[in-house]
């Protein structure tokens, strides 16, 4: 027997979303609930997949099933498709598993042809309605199926209106419309070389195909990419009997939400138009009325609608977004779905649903989109002040938040100005690791070059500082301390405002307001913490980051990158002295200068985190990152270090690497120069002892990066332990510490059972692990990844969302192997993926202990962790019942 590809609305239910799409499943569910739904059928998403598999052909068995469903619908409604006397007209609409608004196309009034239109005219006794319906159908069909844009037909309408001397479409008579139809068909034939199809079934099949095709149109592909919707899902097609809102003054159509989607208040919210079809509401020619006024126009229908709305909200336990049509005083529901809402509304609705007793805390976890939370965490411009502002340019919205300040063009100038109490915007051609201090001191960062993964963007997001990157319209002249835009010069000290959430740049200062984790937001996040079991830590390198992390609910630091401390002005010189030293003694001398500074850094960090665990990673980047590369800079530094230019140039050249990603870095540095590990271990342990003497109880976690082989880990660990134990013994106090490793090299994942004999914890560095597992570096992949998206080889950015099939498999394998060797090993993830909701869920599912992400993503990760618990329970329940 052939597989079932077509379902009557009466055959489905709300749980069949994957097969019927969201729209189809909800039409079926509304039918089940006995609500007034024009009947019809859904061609499943599997039919769409099969259509593509078969080379863009609808197979015979699917065609046959459509015919059967159509016959059933005809019987149910007592109308016949293509029948002149009592015609069934249908709408054909797409409906994917996830809502993809605006992405797919709709055809109304399908089934009309030259004969049927006459029958409809007689049946409704409304020729103008019939002809108007037909001309609209021709336009929509031509547009959606034949790719002949609607607007091309509008020209013909305009010509006729001019000829008739009228302004509005509605002023055209039935006879005018009949003539228009003749013109439309002639234009159709002229443009497309064939007659407008008169055979209704052929119209339907072509429309179904057009919906399938539209799944693969560029807009749809872009939307899916942005929203992590797999291409493989496909779309369903809904064929539904038409009802008409344009049959006179007792007909109408509208859309409504059960709660206010922008703030969340409970009240019907929406609008309608009498004597209109759906597209008129959207088109904006007539002004729709607020839904509440329907009460006065058609009190009974309004009352019925309110009831239906309540039924739906109670049934779906969520705010509903509904489409309805009133045909000659009778209400029909065309669609319902969980309504899109702002983050603020989402929080309020979730809290209200629980407090109204409509849903449990667990049930509302998924009512807030974790990613959306981001908008609630950053400063925003005061909306009143923003109204009167016009952007002077727009760049990439690289790191959210709003800020204003005086522009400065070097890290040093920015730091100096900030220390002088000024609010600073750092403006650079592009940033590099040496700018860290300036970026840290700035309220906002603007760069002329670089994309969403440029240094400025990545670091700013990590810091939670707003950033507008790749602002190509500005010309930055760093040496002369100005930038130019549209012929105007902005000098050092001039004030601008940046919106990192939109990419907009404004002249002058716009007042900002801070984000608050209080009220409903605070309440909701408390529930999140009740439900989740996965711990959430933050990646933080400074006491300031740490404080932000704690504010956002971080339960520890999962990654402190010690090298970030090395770039600051007071220490970079010592770092460079260490690098140019030619022997152990020279290096140790330079390291001795760094020791007290690093110790101070760690003390600050420990103090900011209180009793929470702090994982500190030993030096990771290759040493050449700390040296200048231009001859003049080398010359300057050589003079500063008291060595010759040639000698320093030689060092720089000898440190050059063909593939720095795959070079001399991470624990490899400690193998070559164990004295670096000695200094860092000493700084960490001394800092912990110092703060513990003040009554704290810090248990530092020392993390050795880039390990690929257990003996390599053991070598460096032995150095660390020897140093630490000596320091502890000499201090006369007790101190517990842990030594663990990053798992970021594929070999470490594969040999995790061996690695775990030495490591007390694993932290998955999924940035590097992704690069090495795929074999492409993030810096270079930008050049070809777009081709991979366009050609549907990748559906999401593997650096933003963990590749669970490949990289995830290594993570899972390593977690299992690690636990096998050392059952109590602590497992976490500290790549940027740690703040991605789908990755958080994956980490929960494979049993990690924590995720660590940038401070500003901590609330997102917390919510994602709670959602993971809820989803896991749901899927286990499903399995059990299956």
Residues of this chain that bind a second copy (CB under 8 A): 657-664, 668, 671-672, 706, 708-709, 711-712, 715, 744-747, 750-751, 754, 768, 771-777, 779-781, 783-784, 787-788, 791-794, 803, 805-807, 809-810
| Cα dihedral: 605, 608, 609, 614 (round 10) | 0
Q: Do 440 and 426 meet the contact criterion of CB atoms below 8 Å apart?
A: no
Residue that has been written with the tokens 């405002």 in this structure: 497
Which of helix, strand or coil describes residue 90?
strand
Of residues 395 and 666, the one with the C-beta less far from a second copy: 666
Residue closer to a second copy (CB basis): 647 or 672: 672
CA atoms within 13 A on the CB side of 361: 13
How many Cα atoms within 13 Å fall on the side-chain side of residue 367?
31
The DSSP-derived string for 452-486 is TTSHHHHHHHHHT-EEEE--TT-EEETTTTEEEET
Nearer to a second copy, 448 or 685 (CB): 448
Q: Do residues 445 and 470 touch, judged by C-beta distance below 8 A?
A: no
Q: CA-based Rg of the chain, rounded to a whole angstrom?
A: 32
Phi, psi of 15 (to 5 degrees): -80, -5
Residue 805 to residues 226, 580, 770, 868, Cα–Cα distance (Å): 20, 44, 11, 18
- CA 639 from chain centre, in angstroms, equals 49
Residue 474: Cβ within 10 Å count: 20
Please tell me the distance from the alpha carbon of residue 90 to that of residue 38, in angstroms, as a whole number.
10
Contact 240, 256 (CB under 8 A): no
The closest alpha carbon to 245, from 335, 319, 162, 323, belongs to 323
Q: How far is the CB of 656 from a second copy (least distance, A)?
A: 9
- Listed in sequence order, the residues at least 6 apart from 292 whose beta carbon sits closer than 8 Å to its beta carbon are 268
Task: Give the residue among 315, 309, 313, 314 at the shortest CA–CA distance from 294.
Answer: 309
Q: How far apart are CA 318 and CA 349, in angstroms?
A: 8
The CA angle 703-706-711, to the nearest 5 degrees, is 85
> What are phi and psi for residue 284, nearest 5 degrees?
80, 15
Look up residue 768 and give its two tokens.
């590097």
Q: How far are the Cα atoms of 43, 239, 320 from residue 34, in angstroms, in the given order?
A: 22, 19, 17
Cα 311 to its chain centre, rounded Å, is 32
- Altogether, the residues listed in the chain come to a count of 882
Residue 879 and residue 859 in contact, taking contact as beta carbons nearer than 8 Å: no
CA distance 560 to 593: 21
**Rounded to whole angstroms, how far apart are CA atoms 237 and 41?**
8
H helix or E strand, kind and range, residue 325 = strand 320-327
- Of 422 and 792, nearer to a second copy (C-beta) is 792
Beta carbon nearer to a second copy, 387 or 783 = 783
Helix ranges (H only) for 148-298 are 150-164, 174-192, 200-214, 218-227, 278-283, 294-297
Give me the sign of the Cα torsion angle 523, 529, 530, 531: positive
Q: What does the CA dihedral 809, 813, 818, 820 come to, rounded to 10 degrees?
A: 150
Nearest approach, Cβ of 719 to a second copy (angstroms)?
11
CA 820/CA 803 separation, integer angstroms: 24
Tell me the two tokens of residue 46. Answer: 């599997």
CA distance 235 to 100: 10
The helix or strand, by DSSP H or E, that contains position 606, with its residue range, turns out to be helix 584-609
Q: Which residues are catalytic?
A: 455, 830
Output the smallest distance, CB 748 to a second copy, in A.
Answer: 8
- Distances, alpha carbon 37 to alpha carbons 522, 630, 774, in Å: 40, 72, 50
Question: What is the 8-class DSSP label of residue 826?
Answer: E
Parallel/antiparallel/unpaired status of strands 396-399 and 424-428: unpaired
Closest CA to 251 of 152, 399, 126: 126
């Amino acid at each position: 027997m052939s597989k079932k590809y077509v379902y009557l609305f009466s055959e489905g239910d709300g749980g069949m979303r994957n097969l019927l799409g969201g729209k189809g499943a909800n039409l079926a569910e509304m039918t089940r609930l006995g609500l007034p739904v024009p009947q019809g059928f859904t061609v499943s998403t599997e039919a769409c997949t099969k259509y593509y598999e078969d080379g863009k052909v609808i197979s015979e068995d699917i065609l046959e099933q459509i015919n059967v469903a159509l016959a059933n619908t005809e019987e149910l409604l007592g109308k016949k498709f293509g029948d002149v006397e009592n015609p069934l007209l249908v709408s054909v609409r797409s409906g994917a598993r996830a809502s993809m608004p605006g992405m797919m196309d709709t055809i109304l009034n399908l089934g009309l042809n030259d004969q049927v239109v006459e029958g409809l005219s007689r049946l409704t006794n409304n020729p103008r309605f019939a002809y108007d319906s037909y001309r609209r159908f021709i336009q929509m069909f031509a547009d959606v199926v034949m790719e002949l844009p609607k607007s091309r037909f509008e020209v013909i309408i305009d010509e006729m209106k001019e000829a008739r001397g009228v302004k509005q479409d509605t002023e055209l008579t039935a006879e005018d419309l009949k003539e228009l139809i003749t013109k439309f068909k002639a234009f159709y034939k002229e443009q497309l070389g064939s007659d407008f199809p008169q055979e209704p079934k052929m119209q339907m099949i072509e429309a179904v195909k057009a919906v399938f095709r539209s799944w693969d149109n560029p807009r749809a592909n872009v939307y899916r990419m942005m929203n992590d919707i797999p291409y493989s899902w496909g779309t369903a097609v809904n064929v539904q009997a038409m009802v008409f809102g344009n049959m006179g003054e007792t007909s109408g159509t509208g859309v409504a939400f059960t709660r206010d989607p922008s703030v969340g208040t409970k009240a019907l919210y929406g609008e309608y138009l009498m004597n209109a079809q759906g597209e008129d509401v959207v088109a904006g020619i007539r002004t729709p009325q607020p839904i509440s006024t329907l009460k006065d126009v058609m009190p009974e229908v309004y009352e019925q609608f309110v009831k239906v709305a309540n039924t739906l909200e109670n049934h779906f336990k969520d705010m509903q977004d509904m489409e309805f049509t009133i045909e000659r005083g009778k209400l029909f529901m065309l669609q319902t779905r969980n309504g899109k809402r702002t983050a603020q509304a989402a929080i309020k609705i979730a809290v209200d649903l629980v407090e109204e007793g409509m849903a449990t805390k667990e049930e509302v976890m998924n009512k807030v989109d974790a990613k959306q939370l981001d908008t609630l965490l950053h400063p925003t411009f005061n909306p009143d002040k923003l109204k009167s502002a016009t952007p002077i340019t727009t760049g990439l919205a690289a790191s959210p938040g709003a800020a204003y300040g005086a522009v400065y063009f070097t890290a040093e100038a920015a730091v100096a100005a900030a220390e002088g109490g000024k609010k600073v915007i750092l403006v650079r051609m592009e940033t590099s690791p040496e700018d860290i201090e300036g970026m840290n001191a700035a309220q906002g960062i603007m760069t002329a070059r670089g994309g969403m993964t440029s240094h400025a963007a990545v670091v700013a997001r990590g810091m939670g500082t707003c950033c507008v990157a790749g602002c190509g319209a500005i010309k930055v002249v760093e040496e002369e301390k100005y930038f130019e835009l549209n012929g105007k010069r902005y000098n050092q000290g001039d004030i601008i405002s940046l919106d990192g959430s939109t990419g907009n740049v404004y002249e002058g200062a716009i007042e900002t307001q801070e984000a608050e984790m209080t009220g409903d937001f605070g309440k909701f996040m408390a529930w999140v913490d009740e439900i989740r079991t996965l711990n959430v830590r933050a990646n933080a390198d400074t006491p300031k980051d740490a404080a932000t992390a704690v504010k956002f609910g971080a339960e520890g630091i999962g990654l402190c990158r010690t090298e970030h401390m090395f770039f600051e002005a007071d220490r970079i010189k010592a770092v460079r002295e260490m690098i140019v030293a030619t022997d152990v003694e020279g290096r140790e001398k330079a390291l001795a200068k760094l020791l007290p500074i690093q110790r101070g850094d760690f003390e600050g960090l420990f103090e900011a985190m209180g009793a929470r665990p702090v994982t500190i990673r030993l030096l990771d980047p290759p040493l050449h990152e700390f040296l200048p590369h231009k001859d003049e800079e080398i010359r300057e530094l050589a003079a500063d270090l008291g060595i010759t230019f040639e000698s320093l140039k030689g060092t720089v050249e000898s440190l050059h690497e063909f593939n720095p990603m795959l070079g001399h870095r991470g624990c490899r540095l400690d193998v070559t120069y164990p004295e670096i590990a000695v200094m860092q271990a000493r700084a960490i342990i001394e800092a912990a002892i110092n703060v513990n003497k003040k009554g704290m109880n810090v248990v530092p976690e020392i993390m050795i990066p880039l390990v690929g082989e257990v003996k390599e880990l053991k070598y460096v660990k032995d150095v660390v332990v020897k140093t630490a134990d000596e320091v502890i013994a000499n201090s006369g106090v007790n101190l517990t510490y842990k030594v663990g490793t990053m798992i970021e090299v594929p070999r470490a994942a594969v040999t995790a059972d061996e690695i775990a004999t030495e490591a007390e914890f694993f932290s998955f560095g999924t940035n590097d692990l992704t690069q090495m597992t795929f074999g492409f570096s993030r810096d270079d992949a930008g050049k070809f990844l777009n081709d991979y998206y366009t050609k549907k080889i990748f559906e999401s950015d593997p650096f933003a969302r963990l590749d669970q099939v490949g990289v995830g498999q290594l993570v899972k394998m390593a977690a299992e192997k690690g636990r096998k060797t050392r059952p109590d090993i602590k497992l976490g993830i500290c790549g940027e993926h740690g703040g991605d909701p789908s990755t958080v869920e994956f980490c929960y599912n494979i049993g990690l202990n924590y995720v660590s992400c940038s401070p500003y993503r901590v609330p997102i990760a917390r919510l994602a962790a709670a959602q993971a618990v809820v989803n896991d329970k749901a899927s286990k329940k499903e399995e059990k019942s299956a």
